[in-house]
Amino acid sequence: MLRLLEQVGQACAEYQDKALRNLPCKRIQCDEIWSFVGCKEKNLPAEMRNKIGQGDVWTWTAIDADTKLVPSWLVGKRDAGYAYAFIEDLASRLSNRVQLTTDGHRPYLSAIEDVFGIGIDYAMLVKLYGESSDAGEKRYSPAQCIGVEHRPIVGNPDPDHISTSYVERQNLTMRMGIRRFTRLTNAFSKNLENHAHHVALHYMYYNFCRIHQTLRVTPAMEAKVTNHVWTVEDIVGLIHDEGVVILK
């Protein structure tokens, strides 16, 4: 079963890397979603902390607010190096200037400046949190959001479209659809590579197979990347003895 996951996950990652190019997106939202491999970071031995492969793992995600397509993601740490790699990959898939919104994670600032320069309309949406009213629930529930700040950074972002709502909803879809991402689970990933393969499979299904409730088509169809709804058999068909076959 793990061998099949490896083959399908690699095929899904390679196919989307080739297919999701020259995208005419207009509004992009980015966020990061937490998970862990092996055990949580706080439970790792000191010498193993901050090393990729065990402990806390973050999946950087981007979503097109109009088509709901996820054009780019990256599994790794939540540091400046991964921020740059993620934004660089995202930029390579876009065909025109976009409005981009991220949360207040500071590594985005230098990454977006280095990759896009002034060729982007970029803003941060920073959430302000208060203390939890019930200390007994603090372990399981985030602090209450008491407000947000819209911070234009580069260009002329439209205030009406400074939002991370769609990407946050996509992250919830991941938590609901991937058992490895469920909080307080015993089904967490034990291997980073398998974790990444599962993420690639999830986005292949989300982008190409799952009909979006509002759009009535898949995100890939709405973005004109494909002209039909894919099936699970189509995904499995990407595996080939000699590599990956690009389906027409």
User: Is 13 part of a structural domain of the chain?
Assistant: no
Kindly give the confidence (pLDDT) of every residue in the chain, 248 residues in length, as a single tens digit, with 9 standing for 90 and above: 667 778 999 999 999 999 999 999 999 999 999 998 877 878 887 777 666 678 889 999 999 999 999 999 999 999 999 999 999 999 999 999 999 999 999 999 999 999 999 999 999 999 887 765 555 445 556 677 777 899 999 999 999 999 999 999 999 998 888 878 877 777 777 788 989 998 999 999 999 999 998 999 999 999 999 999 999 999 999 987 445 454 44
Query: Is 114 among the domain residues?
Result: yes
Domain total of the chain: 1
Domain of residue 146, CATH code: 3.30.420
Give the count of beta carbons closer than 10 Å to the beta carbon of residue 77.
18
pLDDT of residue 141: 61
The residues that bridge with 189 in the sheet, in sequence order, are 37
Residue 157 tokens read as 């972002």
Q: What is the pLDDT of residue 43?
A: 81
pLDDT of residue 137: 45
Q: Considering the domain boundaries, does residue 147 fall inside one? A: yes
pTM of the shown model:
0.88
Residue 238 lies in a domain: no
For residue 9, tell me if it sits in a domain. no
Range of the domain at 95: 23-189
102 within some domain: yes
CB 60 within 8 A of CB 73: yes
| Structural domain includes residue 12 | no
Query: How many Å apart are CA 19 and CA 245, to the nearest integer?
Result: 12
Q: What is the pLDDT of residue 241?
A: 41
What number of H helices and E strands is found in the chain? Answer: 7, 8
Q: What is the dihedral of CA 194, 199, 202, 204, to 10 degrees?
A: -100
Helix (H, G, I), strand (E, B) or coil at 145: strand
Residue 65 lies in a domain: yes
